[in-house]
Amino acid sequence: GAGVSQSPSNKVTEKGKDVELRCDPISGHTALYWYRQSLGQGLEFLIYFQGNSAPDKSGLPSDRFSAERTGGSVSTLTIQRTQQEDSAVYLCASSRSAPGLNNSPLHFGNGTRLTVT
Amino acid sequence: AQSVTQPDIHITVSEGASLELRCNYSYGATPYLFWYVQSPGQGLQLLLKYFSGDTLVQGIKGFEAEFKRSQSSFNLRKPSVHWSDAAEYFCAVAPLFSGSARQLTFGSGTQLTVLP
């Protein structure tokens, strides 16, 4: 596709349920990032995948959060036992290569708006 | 630790008026600086970036930003705002020669409203 695709665009779930958010990066982009955007806040880094290297998980807020990237392409962010404070927009971004910034800008998806009731 | 401050949460301007969005950063050295725009329901789009050279950088959609080392600022400007510019704008900073967007720090954003 032409851009980063995320699904679903909106997700409403009950507290305690598990959710999966999907990200399809731009074809050929080796770097993939997940960010969380809470109301009135900037973007909070969650996790970073680069090629076949071990992911940088240092931004994940708790062990209820996990992510995987299969075949170096599609990524899934999983939140277990959701809490109300997990409500946010979850943004995925990809870039052509690492380093991700110097000459490979981030391309963002439209995000998944998660609401935990 | 690096940080980014966008002091204006919300700005309203009339269409055709000039615009300046403020961004101040805190970092021990000259960082890599960015401005992103986010339209409703959309992801972030890169407007412009600075990491060296001319301190006045031109971006897409008629935007420009000026890096002022003495003021630790990277303010975004546009001479004449269009209604389609209504969106949220994020300033971001990363260490120069950053190897990963892990080190990319975003400000909390400025919401721009454009009046007809």
Average pLDDT, chain B: 89
Interface test with A, best of B44, B45, B110 (most A CBs within 10 A): B44
Asked if omega into A99 is within 30° of 0 (cis), the reply is: yes
Interface test with B, best of A43, A49, A60 (most B CBs within 10 A): A43
Q: Are B6 and B91 in contact (CB under 8 A)?
A: yes
User: What value does the CA radius of gyration of chain B take, rounded to a whole number of Å?
Assistant: 14
Task: Give me the pLDDT at residue A47, please.
Answer: 92
d(CA A91, CA A115): 14
User: Is residue B111 pLDDT above 90, yes or no?
Assistant: yes
- Rounded to an integer, the average pLDDT of A6-19 is 97
Tallying the residues shown for chain A, one arrives at 117
Which secondary structure element, helix H or strand E, spans residue B91, and what is its range? Answer: strand B87-94
- In chain A, whose CA is at the least distance from the CA of B50? A102
Q: How confident is the model at residue B42 (pLDDT cuts 50, 70, 90)?
A: confident
User: Is residue A28 pLDDT above 70, yes or no?
Assistant: yes
Q: How confident is the model at residue A106 (pLDDT cuts 50, 70, 90)?
A: confident
pLDDT (tens digit per residue) in A29-58: 888 999 999 877 778 889 989 888 888 898
Q: How confident is the model at residue B38 (pLDDT cuts 50, 70, 90)?
A: very high
Residue A59 in tokens: 């931004």
Which is more confident, B43 or A92? A92
Q: How much helix, strand and coil, in percent to the nearest 5, is found in chain B?
A: 10, 50, 40
Closest-CA distance, B26 to chain A, in angstroms, reads: 16
d(CA A22, CA A24): 7
Q: Which chain A residues are Cβ-neighbours of B102 within 8 angstroms?
A: 45, 48, 56, 58-59
* DSSP string over chain A: --S-EEE-SEEEE-TT--EEEEEEPPTT--EEEEEEE-TT--EEEEEEEETTSPPB-TT--STTEEEEEGGGS-EEEEE-S--GGG-EEEEEEEESSSSTTTSS--EE---EEEEE-
User: Is residue A101 pLDDT above 60, yes or no?
Assistant: no
d(CA B110, CA B112): 6
Task: Give me the pLDDT at residue A112, please.
Answer: 96
In angstroms, how far apart are the furthest CA atoms of chain A? 41
d(CA B105, CA B80): 29
DSSP 8-state secondary structure symbol assigned to residue B53: S
Average pLDDT, chain A: 89
Cross-chain residue pair A58–B104, CB shorter than 8 Å: no
- Rounded to an integer, the average pLDDT of B27-56 is 86
Residue B8 in tokens: 């204006």
Residue B90 is nearest to which of A9, A33, A42, comparing CB atoms?
A42
pLDDT (tens digit per residue) in A66-84: 999 988 799 999 999 999 9
Q: Which chain A residues are Cβ-neighbours of B46 within 8 angstroms?
A: 105-106
Q: What are the phi and psi torsion angles at A60 (to 5°)?
A: -65, 130
d(CA B82, CA A52): 44
Tallying the residues shown for chain B, one arrives at 116
Q: Does A28 touch chain B (CB under 8 A)?
A: no
User: Is residue B101 pLDDT above 70, yes or no?
Assistant: no
Percent of all residues in chain A with a pLDDT value above 90, rounded to a whole number: 62
Q: Are A51 and A37 in contact (CB under 8 A)?
A: no
Which is more confident, B40 or B16? B16
User: Is residue B32 pLDDT above 60, yes or no?
Assistant: yes
pLDDT (tens digit per residue) in B48-85: 988 878 899 999 999 999 999 999 999 999 999 999 99
Q: Which chain A residues are Cβ-neighbours of B101 within 8 angstroms?
A: 31, 33, 45, 48, 93, 95, 100-101, 106
- Rounded to an integer, the average pLDDT of A12-32 is 94
Task: Give me the pLDDT at residue A102, please.
Answer: 58
